Structure 1
Amino acid sequence: MALLVTLSIITVLIAGGLELNRRVRAAVVDTAATRDRLTLTLMASSGIHAAMAMLIKDKSESPVDSLQEDWANPEKIAEVIADIPFDAGQIGVTIIDELGKIQVNALIDFPKGRHFNESQKIMWDRFTRLLIAQDEETFKDVEATAIINSVKDWLDSGDDDATTGLNGAEAEYYQGLDPPYMPANGPFMDINELSRVKGIIPELFRGTGPAGLEPYVTVYGMTQVPQEVDGKDFSYEGSININTADLPVLIAMMPSENTDYAQAIFDYRNEKDGETFVHDLSGDGWYKNVPEIPSDFTIDPKLIRNSSDVFRIQANAQMNDIQETVTAVIQREQEKKTGKWTCRILRWQVGTYE
């Protein structure tokens, strides 16, 4: 009996010891992972601030922003990041011009917020038709006009039965969904809100192989107006930086859906002689110098700009098989008293940017 009791006690002690060991090891691993995650977040944050320093330096050197500058060159960014000492791990940083995209909030005429901005409406029509044409089978029931009307109804400040056209959507439509929700009847604050608009199916928003709406549109670009209208003192100009716009956006900016002209402008903008860019992009009308462009060809001046002050910076840090992403949307601003340029953070997100 004494032997059995002894063996039973030893068995219980061994089992308890093993369980205690497992819990201690798990706690150590979790603590190490938390430590590494915090370290990675701080590393990525330092990458964000290094990128902001590059953008401030760029603004002091040139009023024009283009893909020919250091902030858009991955190798130049890597050189700056290399000057930040880390005991372990590494970070990668990308900078994207938010004003090289289509400003979704510019579709209507803020601050009144009631009617279409016609130049934006025409561009939206070209853009959505271009996306639909990429996969006509998937988008056979999707209509460009219906999407534009529904986006307008989501944006406009009128929430009544007067839907735009025959296929817009006001609150009554969204309240009939499961689950129900309300339209904003104001500006989009997050690009993911666009996926909640009638007609914008997930395949159109995210893409089905070819990219969807998401990479080419932005909610940023707000400017203040001197006089309030219905309690609103802001507007969205909707002008797009022709020096940084991606090819689908350039196609949408064309007076007609002329992919050849857009491709010619895209290639001219990126042409190099060795490591040096060939062409000057400092003027709004530089695209007229493209050899393939006819002399009478003109892009709507309301759609064009050649500078930007809103950028999205994404920093990815890696260490010990763990990675962390920090994304910041920043706006360059000039201090009134000192005249110095600074970066104001409009959005800060830890984790994958959605």
Structure 2
Amino acid sequence: MKLLLLQSWWGNDMNNKGIALLMSLVLIVLVVFIVINILNTTWVDVSESAIFRDRALAKINLISALNYATALLVKDAQTNNIDTLRDNWADKEEISKAFSEWAGEDVEIFISDETGKLNINSLVKQDGQYNANIMNVLLRLLKGPFFKLSAEDAQNLLDSIKDWIDKDDEPTRFGAESGYYKDLGLKYGAKNSAIDFLEELLTVKGVTPEIFYGTGESPGLKDLLRTRGPTTININTAPGEIILALGDNMTWDAVAAMLDYRLEQGNELGKKDWYKSVPGMAGVALDESIITTKGELFKVVVVQRTSATRRNLIALLERKGKDVKILDLKVE
């Protein structure tokens, strides 16, 4: 009897100790689980805080770089009456280096004179008729060695762009007004107002992706056109493809000579006919009615890189005299 009681007591005691041990293990696992979760949460919070900090610093540097670019353009207007690719604002390496040293971060700044491109909206005058000078430049561009359109296809394409912009609903020759797009089952018609974004051209009859974006060998319309700014083109900063289209008797060799000439320090670029000073071009006549030597529209691209992020800023600036105004601003 005593033996049975002893065994019973001993068994109960062992069971109690086992339960206590099991509960202890469960408690330890629970504590470890909680600690691990706290550490993970803390690590995530720290990591997210670091990313947030990097993004905030990047944005501050982007805006500061834009202010720096704006100051360069204002200073340039105070000292120069013309804009060329020899100006300080056009030296990407130098201005990026100067700002990066000040900011203590790797920042790239690129300023381009958009006035060197052609304003596609200037193709149509206020009365809805063609601006003949701009039309002729575009025809030469489309028929030239980069787009290689036939004279008929080039004219038809411009007719379609004109119909997209002009306010009436009467097709221009073989152009396209709203009826054309509706007959195709499209949910849009001709805009009948100015183009706001170049990408709109992709919806216009005759504008293919190859014409708009270009190919590996040739640029596209997106590289040569703009939708804002003056009708005139800055001959000092215009791409070679545009310069080639400024006159009937231009050749690519003549364009190459002009591009070299305008980069040479000391060469005078203040007059619209400076190209006549280029060897072999004394008898060349460009359409000076749409030529200027001054920039009014500038694009600023800023790239900020950190260990964890890369952010871009793209701004379109309008400079009138010594005043600079932001027309568009996008941070990516």
Q: Given the two structures, how large is their TM-score scaled by the length of structure 1?
A: 0.80
Q: Is this contact kept in 1: 2:314–2:331, CA < 8 A? A: yes
2:108 alignment counterpart: 92
2:177 alignment counterpart: 170
Q: Is this contact kept in 2: 1:126–1:257, CA < 8 A? A: no
2:158 alignment counterpart: 148
Give the share of equivalent positions with the same residue, in percent. Answer: 28
The one of 268, 286, 302 aligned to 2:274: 286
Matched, 1:62 2:67: no
Distance change (3 Å), C-alpha of 1:72 and 1:11: same
1:243 alignment counterpart: 236
The one of 318, 324, 329 aligned to 1:343: 324
Q: Given the two structures, how large is their TM-score scaled by the length of structure 2?
A: 0.84
Distance 1:201 1:6 in 2: 74
- Residue 18 of structure 1 and its aligned partner are, at CA, apart by 4.3
Is the partner of 1:174 in helix, strand or coil?
Answer: helix
1:234 alignment counterpart: none
1:128 alignment counterpart: 142
- What letter corresponds to residue 53 of structure 1 in structure 2? A
Deviations 1:285-341 (A, max 9, x none): 110111121x3321012221111121111111111242111111111234xxxxxx2
Larger Rg belongs to: 2
- Residue 29 of structure 1 and its aligned partner are, at CA, apart by 2.2
Q: Where do 1:75-114 residues align within 5 Å?
A: 75-78=93-96, 80-82=98-100, 84-86=102-104, 89-109=105-125, 111-112=126-127, 114=128
1:25 alignment counterpart: 43
1:230 alignment counterpart: none
Is the partner of 1:343 in helix, strand or coil?
Answer: strand
- Residue 84 of structure 1 and its aligned partner are, at CA, apart by 2.8
Deviations 1:196-215 (A, max 9, x none): 22222222212221321112
Deviations 1:162-213 (A, max 9, x none): 21222x2212333456762343211112222222222222222122213211
Matched, 1:270 2:263: yes
2:200 alignment counterpart: 193
Deviations 1:128-186 (A, max 9, x none): 233323xxxxx89x93223211111111111x2x21222x2212333456762343211
Tell me, which stretches of 5 or more residues in structure 2 are unaligned? 1-17
How many pairs are equivalent? 311
Distance 2:69 2:247 in 1: 32
Say what the alpha-carbon RMSD is for the aligned residues: 2.5
Distance change (3 Å), C-alpha of 1:256 and 1:186: farther
Distance change (3 Å), C-alpha of 1:153 and 1:257: farther
- What letter corresponds to residue 86 of structure 2 in structure 1? Q
Distance 1:197 1:19 in 2: 57
Distance 2:28 2:159 in 1: 76
Is the partner of 2:82 in helix, strand or coil?
Answer: coil
Q: Where do 1:321-336 residues align within 5 Å?
A: 321-334=308-321
Tell me, which stretches of 5 or more residues in structure 1 are unaligned? 134-138, 223-237, 272-276, 335-340
Distance 2:212 2:40 in 1: 46
2:66 alignment counterpart: 48
Q: Is this contact kept in 2: 1:98–1:220, CA < 8 A? A: no
Q: Is this contact kept in 2: 1:254–1:262, CA < 8 A? A: no
